Amino acid sequence: MGKYYVTTAIPYASKKPHIGNTHDALLTDAVARYRKLRGDDVYFLTGADEHGIKVQREAEKAGVTPQQYVDGVTAEMRSIWDLCMVGYDDFIRTTEERHKSIVKKMFKKLYDQGDIYKGAYEGWYCVPDEAFYTDSQVVKTETGNVCPDCGRPVERLKEETYFFRLSAYADRLAAHIEAHPEFIQPESRRNEIVNGYIKPGLQDFSVSRTTFTWGIPVEFDPEHVMYVWVDALSNYITALGYDPDGNHGGLFQKYWPCDVHFIGKDVLRFHTLYWPGMLMALGVPLPRSVYAHPWWMMGGGRLSKTSGNVLYASDLVEKYGIDCVRYYCLREMPVSRDGNITPELLVSRCNTDLANDLGNLASRSITMAEKYFQGEVFPAEKPENEVLTLCENSKERYAVAMDTLSLQQALTEAMGPVARANRFIDETAPWILAKEPEKAEALKHVLYTLLETLRCASVTLYPVMPRAMGKLRLQLGLPGVPVWEEAPPQGFSVRRGDNLFPRITEEL
Ligand SMILES: [Zn+2]
């Protein structure tokens, strides 16, 4: 196996991240843990985007400096990541000197070679989103034009700005996307980029602002601060020690190009057009792929801090536990259409899959092993049956799904043998076998089958539920952290522990 570099989009530090902003981190963490399980040398980067007008305004409202403001929000973000067991290797903040100094050099280099030039921009500006829109992009209403993204009023604005010459890279970008079907995933997103942006023709985009000051200054033109694209997207290489002069750090040499940038669908075009355009201009190889997940909706509506229609990972984890939250988010997020998250849905899914299926299988199997064999289940020969065959086949199908980043499918595969093993208990009725001493070997085969099913699940479900699967493995007498090639043991020495997935019974 080889090196594997994964990143989350860096959430904007204007407000505490909600469950939707946390999804990148959960998804990236599960994939990083899976790649480690497969033996890869994994590097996992996350961080915070800390500049821009919204941070400046929130800080003013709070009566603190922008730096003090983002110090607070980013600390909160990191505590949520920790609570969610997001096991990153590095957390980069765009206000850090190691980031700013490199970004300044990048900007200067791009300017010196003519990829960044000065011009003027006129358009419709959405203040809260810091985004410009053209006449054809804004939505016309009776009260005036509104933002196509957030629906709030836009204002006509003209400002002097630096542009990045994306148009110069249009042909190369189109050819790259054409030649590398894996570059934009899933496929529906690729079509969106090709039909929505490549075919109509790529425009140069604005990379500086004079309307606010909380940003990385353009050193040769102090009226300007850098806008989010050069500032934030470059975190993926500055964190590794990229240097525009070529004196790269060891991490950059080892891990770049990135294997997958995990992002939300809202920042797709910036990651698949703007970012690779800048990398081409810098002469840096492009990331292998960008995977855009859809959004979480809540009861059909968008999650939004302003509307109060919002859920925080920290509250959910406190109420339902980390395993439940990670399992729900990764099991229920569809590939292209948006997913739905509410406390009711989360409780129902976790009670069905985790408490009833997996939790019950574990507690029944381990209880019976202790009752009938004092926890020592060592059959004379390893049994062969339909359930064990399903375990093996499901593991292979699970790997195919994980390799193609289809986590929903992978979790369905991982849970298949668990449901089958629960039926196997009813079919074989071990409590009847236990009454006849000459059936002891047959009873051992049944219990071995159940425990082996749990062992397999503890491997495949480990990337999604590392806490609960670690505990399950200790109850099964196995090392807490699995390896992918772990062979089925001769037998099991089990010991009952805490109930892994208590049924959630609270009134909702
Ligand atoms: Zn807007």
How many A from CA of 56 to the centre of ligand 1?
A: 17
For residue 125, report the distance from its CA to the centre of ligand 1, in Å.
8
The CA 433 to ligand 1 mean position distance, Å, reads 67
Contact (Cβ atoms closer than 8 angstroms) between residue 239 and residue 92: yes
- Yes or no: say if 464 and 29 are a contact pair by the CB < 8 Å rule: no
Q: Summarize pLDDT for 468-484 with one digit per residue, the tens.
A: 999 999 999 999 999 99
DSSP strand pairing (260-264 vs 225-226) = unpaired
Residues 57-86 have a mean pLDDT of 97
What's the pLDDT tens digit per position in 179-210?
Answer: 999 999 999 999 999 999 999 999 999 999 99
User: Amino acid letter at 99?
Assistant: H
Ligand 1 centre distance from Cα of residue 137 (Å): 12
Which has the closest alpha carbon to 244: 420, 113, 358, 355?
Answer: 113
- Measured in Å, residue 94 CA sits from the centre of ligand 1 at 23
- Does residue 327 contact residue 464 with C-beta atoms inside 8 Å? yes
What mean pLDDT do residues 84-111 have? 98
Superfamily of domain 342-493 in the CATH hierarchy? Isoleucyl-tRNA Synthetase; Domain 1 (1.10.730.10)
Q: What is the pLDDT of residue 505?
A: 87
Question: CB-side exposure of 57: number of CA atoms within 13 Å?
Answer: 11
CB 451 within 8 A of CB 388: no
State in Å: Cα 277 to ligand 1 middle.
Answer: 25
Helices (H), 283-406: 313-320, 322-332, 343-349, 360-373, 386-403
Sign of CA dihedral 493, 497, 500, 502: positive
pLDDT band at residue 508 under the 50/70/90 scheme: low
Q: Are 206 and 132 in contact (CB under 8 A)?
A: yes
Mean pLDDT (the chain, rounded): 95
pLDDT at 217 over 80: yes
| Closest residue by Cα to residue 326 from 10, 31, 27, 77 | 27
pTM over 0.75: yes
Contact 414, 463 (CB under 8 A): no
Q: Which residues pair with 125 in a beta bridge?
A: 132, 155
Query: Is pLDDT at 507 greater than 70 in this prediction?
Result: no
Instruction: Please list, in sequence order, all residues whose beta carbon lies within 8 angstroms of the beta carbon of residue 412, skipping any fewer than 6 positions away.
Output: 331
Report the distance separating Cα 342 and Cα 326, nearest Å.
14
76 CA distance to ligand 1 centroid (A)? Answer: 25
Model confidence band, residue 1 (pLDDT cutoffs 50, 70, 90):
low
* Residue 457 C-alpha from the chain's centroid: 22
What is the Cα 233 distance to its own chain's centre? 16
**pLDDT-derived band of residue 427, with 50, 70 and 90 as boundaries?**
very high
Taking the centre of ligand 1 as the mean of its atom positions, its distance from the CA of residue 379, in whole angstroms, is 65
